[in-house]
Amino acid sequence: MYPGSNNPSLGFGQGPSYPLYPTVPYDGTSYPAYPPAPGGSPYPPAGGVAPYPPAPGAAPYPPAPGASPYPPAPGAAPYPPAPGASPYPPAPGASPYPPAPGASPYPPAPGASPYPPAPGVSPYPPAPGASPYPPAPGASPYPPAPGAGAYPPTGASTYPPASGAPGYPPATAAQGYPPASGAPSYPPAPSGAPYGQPPAQPAAQSYGGGMPQKQQHYETGAPCGGSLLAYREIPTVNPLAHCDPSSDASVLRKAMKGFGTDEAAIIGVLSHRSSDQRQQILLKYQQGYGRDLVKDLKSELSGKFEEAILALMTPLPLYLAQELHHAMQGIGTNERTLVEILCTRDNQSLMAIKNAYHHHYRKKLEDDLRGDTSGDFRRLLISMCACSRDETNCDPALAPNLAQQLYKAGVGKVGTDEAEFNRILSTYSYPMLRLVFDEYKKIKGKSFGDALDSELSGDLKLGMMAVYDCIQNRAAYFAKELHDSMAGMGTRDRALIRLVVSRCEIDMGNIKQEYHKMYSKSLEHAIKGDTSGDYKKLLIALVGA
């Protein structure tokens, strides 16, 4: 038997591992025969009494029921805890009393109130710089970012927003928040834009979205002024309110079913619907009757009336892409059609036409233009297809300098710098170029249009004059094109159909006004004199007689 071993007679692990001394016999039942500690009891402990002497400062009695059997820590209460209180001593700085109902059992953070928070108040201490008071109803509980205004902005309404309005309080200024230190100040979002959302990409940027119902042009009151301002567009064909495509499809089916065709019913429906609504009718026709409306129209109609109806049934970007392709198809090129379409439209419309061309013909419009045109005229058309004109900026301070550049590129030198003409005419916004043309006339005593007429010739002159005329007065340009399509012997029906179909939902009302000013007769009168039958009725309906 070695010191620290167990008693073999009791089995392994059953006896105490106290060292056994030979001076006192060990019978396996009593404690080892240690001498009592000084001040300790020489007797065996009574039931429930600690066998060891009490620690200094501890109670010499057995603990009361429910009390801790351990001596209290320094600074702790020597009594048993109250019901619900912690049996442990409080942390340094903490209250020695039990927490009030609903209060945190932990000591407060430095700087925080030791009392429970009022209803609705955050239990956490305020952030540096934040208000120690609870936020007003509807206000943010968080402190504002450095340099930012408090939310809601000063002067904002405290009333709930009107039904359907975004749930943000309107600011008195554009945004209501000052810009962060060192950050640039941005202009407010366009009027009518949803709060906090960026504007969506124009649908016409990718083919399939369709041409916008109303193209973006410069209207009267452009911020840069100019002696010849653009106009507010007046379409002659507008979307029909409460349009029922299924009902329209039924009318068209009845008009073509059985013996004969009701052309008046076809005109009545298709000439009073927008391009988008006509596409909805086409879809409902296919769903309701399992037939292709375009094929049925082709089989029932003929001549120029058929051509005009099919033009109406084609989405505008695709229709104009087909017209461009036709102008370059076969022997020769119809440069006038290329100019009319490419030199008169804004970036968004041109991008939609380009995408439709690529989707339909599986090749780029620019590649076909390079193959069918040449020289400076080709350069002008390719520049227009870049869709990179600045359509917003206008700096009047630049106008005199640009006017001088145009003069030096043309009249002010031997020969003509067509590339400089092309660069300026295809880069700057319409309002900016109006100012440049005004400045040119002040400096040189004649218009820039006169300079183009004297300096250029051929297709390039045709193209650049179209750009110049559209910048000055787009409606007058198209009025002249309509007049030329019906002038002389015969009628250029393809051009007439294209002009009416492509402008009736944009600015045909303005074109009619200019036509009357320029030729002292109405556009309707001219159309009646050069067309006939259902073809005439359809065109008259589209121009809004």
What are the tens digits of pLDDT across the range 141-172? Answer: 454 444 444 434 444 333 344 444 344 344 33
Most confident of 95-104, 405-414, 534-543: 534-543
Instruction: Look up residue 473 and give its two tokens.
Output: 């007065």
Predicted pLDDT of residue 331:
87
Give yes or no for residue 435 having a pLDDT over 90: yes
Contact 321, 365 (CB under 8 A): yes
Q: What is the distance between the alpha carbons of residues 512 and 133, in angstroms, rounded to a whole number?
A: 68
Predicted pLDDT of residue 489:
83
Q: Comparing C-alpha atoms, which of 446, 439, 371 is closest to residue 411?
A: 446
Residues 6+ apart with CB under 8 A from 18: 31, 32
Most confident of 178-192, 197-211, 296-310: 296-310
Q: What is the distance between the alpha carbons of residues 482 and 512, in angstroms, rounded to a whole number?
A: 10
Predicted pLDDT of residue 225:
34
Predicted pLDDT of residue 115:
54
Instruction: Look up residue 101 and give its two tokens.
Output: 């109902």
> How many CA atoms does the CB half-sphere of 259 hold within 13 Å?
0
Average pLDDT over residues 104-109: 52
pLDDT band at 89 (very low <50, low <70, confident <90, very high): low
Q: What is the distance between the alpha carbons of residues 153 and 170, in angstroms, rounded to a whole number?
A: 8
User: What is the torsion angle, in degrees rounded to the nearest 10, for the CA atoms of residue 186, residue 192, residue 196 and residue 202?
Assistant: -90
What's the farthest any 2 CA atoms get from each other in the chain?
A: 147
Predicted pLDDT of residue 106:
54
Q: What is the distance between the alpha carbons of residues 152 and 241, in angstroms, rounded to a whole number?
A: 40
User: Looking at the whole model, is its pTM more than 0.85?
Assistant: no
C-alpha triplet 238, 538, 484: angle, nearest 5°:
95
Give yes or no for residue 229 having a pLDDT over 60: no
pLDDT band at 268 (very low <50, low <70, confident <90, very high): very high
Predicted pLDDT of residue 423:
96
According to the 3-state scheme, what is the secondary structure of 227-284?
Answer: CCCCCCCCCCCCCCCCCCHHHHHHHHHHHHCCCCCCHHHHHHHHCCCCHHHHHHHHHH
Phi, psi (rounded to 5 degrees) for 188: -70, 160
pLDDT band at 415 (very low <50, low <70, confident <90, very high): confident
Q: What is the DSSP letter of 179?
A: P
Instruction: Look up residue 402 and give its two tokens.
Output: 């640009």
Cis peptide before 152 (omega within 30 of 0): yes
Phi, psi (rounded to 5 degrees) for 326: -65, -35
Look-up: residue for tokens 């301002």? 229
Contact 240, 277 (CB under 8 A): yes
Predicted pLDDT of residue 367:
98
Q: What is the DSSP letter of 40?
A: S
pLDDT band at 368 (very low <50, low <70, confident <90, very high): very high
pLDDT band at 488 (very low <50, low <70, confident <90, very high): confident
Contact 390, 428 (CB under 8 A): yes
Predicted pLDDT of residue 90:
52
Average pLDDT over residues 66-95: 51
pLDDT band at 91 (very low <50, low <70, confident <90, very high): low
Predicted pLDDT of residue 146:
45
Percentage of the chain with pLDDT > 90?
A: 53
Other C-beta atoms closer than 10 Å to the C-beta of 1 total 10
Predicted pLDDT of residue 25:
45
Residues 6+ apart with CB under 8 A from 542: 236, 237, 271, 500, 501, 504, 508
Give yes or no for residue 48 having a pLDDT over 60: no
Average pLDDT over residues 47-56: 49
Predicted pLDDT of residue 312:
98
Predicted pLDDT of residue 430:
95
Q: What is the distance between the alpha carbons of residues 86 and 77, in angstroms, rounded to a whole number?
A: 11
Q: What is the distance between the alpha carbons of residues 417 and 74, in angstroms, rounded to a whole number?
A: 100
Q: What is the DSSP letter of 141?
A: S
Helix then strand count (H, E) for the chain reads 19, 0
pLDDT band at 522 (very low <50, low <70, confident <90, very high): very high
Instruction: Look up residue 24 and give its two tokens.
Output: 């006192």
Average pLDDT over residues 500-514: 98
Give yes or no for residue 231 having a pLDDT over 70: no
Predicted pLDDT of residue 355:
98
Q: Which residue has the higher pLDDT, 59 or 328?
A: 328
Predicted pLDDT of residue 527:
98
Taking all residues of the chain, what is their mean pLDDT, rounded to a whole number?
Answer: 75
Predicted pLDDT of residue 412:
76
Q: Which residue has the higher pLDDT, 363 or 216?
A: 363
Most confident of 1-15, 405-419, 452-466: 452-466
Q: What is the distance between the alpha carbons of residues 280 and 294, in angstroms, rounded to a whole number?
A: 13
Predicted pLDDT of residue 411:
82
Tens of pLDDT, residue by residue over 442-470, are 988 999 999 999 999 999 999 999 999 99
Q: Comparing C-alpha atoms, which of 483, 467, 466 is closest to residue 518?
A: 483
pLDDT band at 472 (very low <50, low <70, confident <90, very high): very high
Q: What is the DSSP letter of 182?
A: T
